[in-house]
């Protein structure tokens, strides 16, 4: 789909224009962004089905198209680094046989946390598109601006708000169900073992409504 001879972005400031498709990249509602955010939402739904906090991520390469799809697997893998973005970045690096994810876009349903925004910088990702902001841990705009911090050696263009309502709704529904089950358990009714095991603060990074 792409002309592989297109120049690679050398500077973050130039990273706005290297995409070989003529996109209104700053428009979060561009059909290209919506298409790939819908894929990320499919991943989030898969996380929901696995009783994981529903966050999904997709990485699109200018040259190869979609090269990574992942969802949060923190509980399944018992790994605090198993956020959707981290898994997707590792998948993409394996695919490209390079740790440099240049000419790629990361789509993620929730604003990246400090760890994932740091990984964006480390991977030299030029673009990040996210769905809904994270008031408790957002590190692209909300609490920190890691991806655009000029003290670091790489900056990414970050676009917010693609399918924001759907990305927020699935998180709200997940935590609404958790709260309902927690109340059931508190009342002595049967529930799923472990759902109330974690302190609330463990979930708070994902859930603006968990304040
Ligand atoms: Zn993260």
Span 177-211, pLDDT tens digits: 999 988 877 654 444 444 443 434 434 444 444 43
Give the C-alpha distances (Å, rounded to integers) separating 49 from 52, 72, 83, 145. Answer: 7, 11, 16, 32
Q: Can you tell me the mean pLDDT for 3-32?
A: 57
Contact 100, 122 (CB under 8 A): no
Q: Is 85 annotated as catalytic?
A: yes
- What's the gap in Å between 27 CA and the centre of ligand 1? 24
Which residues contact residue 142 at a Cβ distance below 8 angstroms, ignoring those fewer than 6 apart?
Answer: 111, 133, 134, 135
- What's the gap in Å between 83 CA and the centre of ligand 1? 5
- What's the gap in Å between 204 CA and the centre of ligand 1? 12
pLDDT at 162: 98
- For residue 98, pLDDT beyond 60: yes
- For residue 140, pLDDT beyond 50: yes
- What's the gap in Å between 195 CA and the centre of ligand 1? 21
- What's the gap in Å between 23 CA and the centre of ligand 1? 27
Whole-prediction pTM: 0.79
Beta bridge partners of 31: none
Residues within 5 Å of ion ligand 1, judged at the Cβ atom: 83, 113, 115-116
- pLDDT bin (cut points 50, 70, 90) of residue 25 is confident
pLDDT at 17: 43
Contact 175, 198 (CB under 8 A): no
- Which stretch, 2-6, 13-17, 182-186, 200-204, has highest mean pLDDT? 182-186
Catalytic residue chosen out of the listed positions 85, 165, 203, 209: 85
pLDDT at 26: 86
pLDDT at 126: 94
- For residue 127, pLDDT beyond 90: yes
């Amino acid at each position: 789909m792409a002309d592989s001879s297109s120049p690679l972005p050398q500077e973050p400031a130039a990273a706005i224009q290297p995409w070989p498709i003529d996109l209104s990249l700053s428009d979060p509602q561009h059909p290209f962004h919506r298409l790939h955010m819908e894929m990320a939402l499919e991943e989030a739904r898969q996380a929901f089905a696995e009783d994981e906090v529903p966050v999904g991520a997709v990485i699109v390469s200018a040259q190869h198209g979609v090269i990574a799809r992942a969802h949060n697997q923190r509980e399944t893998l018992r790994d605090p680094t198993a956020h959707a973005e981290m898994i997707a970045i590792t998948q993409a690096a394996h695919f490209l046989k390079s740790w440099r994810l240049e000419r790629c876009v990361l789509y993620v349903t929730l604003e990246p946390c400090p760890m994932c925004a740091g990984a964006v910088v480390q991977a030299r990702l030029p673009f990040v598109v996210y769905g809904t902001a994270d008031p408790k841990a957002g590190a692209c705009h909300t609490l920190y601006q890691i991806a655009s911090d000029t003290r670091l050696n790489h900056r990414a263009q970050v676009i917010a708000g693609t399918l924001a309502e759907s990305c927020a709704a699935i998180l709200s529904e997940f935590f609404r169900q958790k709260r309902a089950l927690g109340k059931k358990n508190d009342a002595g009714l049967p529930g799923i073992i472990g759902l109330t095991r974690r302190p609330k603060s463990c979930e708070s990074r994902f859930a603006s409504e968990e304040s």
